[in-house]
Amino acid sequence: MFNTTDETAAPPQPPAATMLQMIAGFWVSRAVWAAAELGLPDKLPTPRTADDLAKELGLHGRSLYRLMRALASVGVFHEHADGRFENTPLSSTLKNDAPDSVRALARSELGHCHYPSWGEILYSVETGKPSFDKVYGMPVFEWFGKNPERAQVFNQSMSELTNTVEPAVLEAFDFSDCGTIVDVGGCFGSLLIGILQKYPQLKGVVFDAPSVVEGAKPKIAAAGLTDRCTTVAGDFFKAVPAGGDTYIMKHIIHDW
């Protein structure tokens, strides 16, 4: 129960004000995308001015300052009194080498891959068809096949998404008796690597499209799991690797 007599509680916000925040929410999202796309957090090992960053990146100084000031207002970057900006815990998640990095996720979801498709949401509601196909003229994974650089960002974003949910998955489920696990649509193998590291008695197979699963090999090697984890390329609409004791899928079924 809320204590309605608490004089320190903030007064309820009018519904129109709450809706205004929802309407303008994409302003912040796109500002985050711009910072991620430009790699701004990686350029701030020490505090720097927007003008300094703009000269390095070939940008308009005053406009970059306004972008960074806007982000600082929501905790992404901190502005010093002398106009220099530094990273905060939020902006640090947009750094390439951060252990909890979501830079690729921000670039994929808010940039060239998904964001334009949301502009055609009414098309999906009216037809039941993916708006991505209307915007780009082809299904998403066909488009990725023709745009490998964007596909690489998307694949990395899926690994980042896995990293955010992996601790909860490992905490919630006991994999100890799962034998050989086949991760169908396992991308770069992030989830399977986490499982195998926690359960040294298990073995695993990362299964995904040929262009994707190649990216799992160096990550498996870096984790020291080449003796317990292999990769298989293929199309799960046609077949999946035989011989597994457990088959897992994460963030796969919703696509189809």
DSSP state letters, 93-156: TTSTT-TT--HHHHHHHHSSSSHHHHTTHHHHHHHSS-HHHHHHSS-HHHHHHH-HHHHHHHHH
Query: pLDDT tens across 202-220, in order?
Result: 999 999 999 899 999 999 9
The pTM (predicted TM-score) of the whole model is 0.83
Q: Is pLDDT of 5 > 70?
A: no
Residue type at 209? A
pLDDT above 70 covers a percentage of the chain that reads 96
Q: What strand order describes the sheet that includes 246-248?
A: 229-233, 203-208, 180-184, 246-248
Tell me: pLDDT of 38 over 80: yes
Per the annotation, the verdict on 254 as an active-site residue is: yes
Task: Exactly one of 60, 78, 112, 254 is catalytic; name it.
Answer: 254
Distance of alpha carbon 208 from alpha carbon 214, whole angstroms: 9
Rounded distance between C-alpha atoms, residue 39 and residue 52, angstroms: 14
